[in-house]
Structure 1
Amino acid sequence: MNRFWDKIIQPIVEKNSAKHIVEIGCASGVNTKKILRFGEKKYIKLSAIDPKPLFNTNDLKVHYKDRFDFYKDISLNALPLLKDYDIVLIDGDHNWYTVYNELKLIEKSSVNKTFPIVFLHDVAWPYARRDLYYNPENIPKKFRHPYKKAGMKEGHSDLLKKGGLNAKLNNAIYEGNQRNGVLTAVEDFLKETKYDLSFQMTKKCRGLGIIYPKSKDLDVSIKNLLSSF
Structure 2
Amino acid sequence: MHRFWEKVIKPIVIAAQPKIIVEIGSLTGLNTFKVLDYCKHSEAELIIVEPAPQYNYDLLKAYYGDHVTLLQKFSLDALPEIPKYDLLLVDGDHNWYTVYHELKLAEKMAEQSGSFPIILFHDTNWPYGRRDMYYFPESIPEEFRKTYERKGMQPGVSELLESGGFNNIALNAVYEHGERNGVLTAIEDFVKESPFSLRYYDLYSNNGLGIIVPESSSIRKVLPYILESSGL
TM-score by length of 2: 0.95
Post-superposition shift, 1:33? 1.0
For the residue of structure 2 that corresponds to 1:65, the secondary structure is helix
In 1, Cα distance between equivalents of 2:122 and 2:228: 17
For the residue of structure 1 that corresponds to 2:89, the secondary structure is strand
Amino acid at match of 1:56: N
Q: What are the superposed Cα offsets for residues 7-44 of structure 1, whole Å, 9 maximum, x if unpaired?
A: 11111111112111000000101111111112212111
- Note if contact 1:20-1:87 (Cα within 8 Å) is conserved in structure 2: yes
For the residue of structure 2 that corresponds to 1:166, the secondary structure is coil
Number of aligned residues = 229
In 2, Cα distance between equivalents of 1:219 and 1:200: 11
Question: Do structure 1's residue 26 and structure 2's residue 22 form an aligned pair?
Answer: no
Q: What are the superposed Cα offsets for residues 110-152 of structure 1, whole Å, 9 maximum, x if unpaired?
A: 1151100000000000001100001110101010000001100
In structure 1, what is the equivalent of residue 68 of structure 2? 68
In structure 1, what is the equivalent of residue 35 of structure 2? 35
TM-score by length of 1: 0.97
In structure 2, what is the equivalent of residue 9 of structure 1? 9
In 2, Cα distance between equivalents of 1:106 and 1:10: 22
Detail structure 1 runs of 4+ shifted over 6 Å in the superposition: none
Long gaps (5+) in structure 1: none
In 2, Cα distance between equivalents of 1:170 and 1:132: 6
- Note if contact 1:200-1:222 (Cα within 8 Å) is conserved in structure 2: no
Query: Structure 1 pair 23/216, CA: closer, same or farther in 2 (3 Å)?
Result: closer
In structure 1, what is the equivalent of residue 159 of structure 2? 158
In 2, Cα distance between equivalents of 1:189 and 1:216: 19
Amino acid at match of 2:26: C
In 2, Cα distance between equivalents of 1:216 and 1:49: 25
For the residue of structure 2 that corresponds to 1:206, the secondary structure is coil
- Note if contact 1:153-1:164 (Cα within 8 Å) is conserved in structure 2: yes
Amino acid at match of 1:121: H
In 1, Cα distance between equivalents of 2:229 and 2:16: 20
Amino acid at match of 1:29: G
In structure 2, what is the equivalent of residue 176 of structure 1? 177
Long gaps (5+) in structure 2: none
In 2, Cα distance between equivalents of 1:21 and 1:215: 19
In 1, Cα distance between equivalents of 2:185 and 2:139: 19
Q: Percent identity?
A: 47
- Note if contact 1:198-1:213 (Cα within 8 Å) is conserved in structure 2: yes
In 2, Cα distance between equivalents of 1:144 and 1:51: 20
Post-superposition shift, 1:86? 0.5
In 2, Cα distance between equivalents of 1:180 and 1:23: 23
In 2, Cα distance between equivalents of 1:220 and 1:162: 47
In structure 2, what is the equivalent of residue 141 of structure 1? 142
Amino acid at match of 1:149: R
Amino acid at match of 1:70: L
Post-superposition shift, 1:174? 1.3
Post-superposition shift, 1:62? 1.8
Amino acid at match of 1:197: L
In 2, Cα distance between equivalents of 1:171 and 1:84: 33
Amino acid at match of 2:106: I
> Cα RMSD between the aligned structures?
1.2
Amino acid at match of 1:20: I
- Note if contact 2:120-2:210 (Cα within 8 Å) is conserved in structure 1: yes
In 2, Cα distance between equivalents of 1:27 and 1:11: 23
In structure 1, what is the equivalent of residue 48 of structure 2? 48
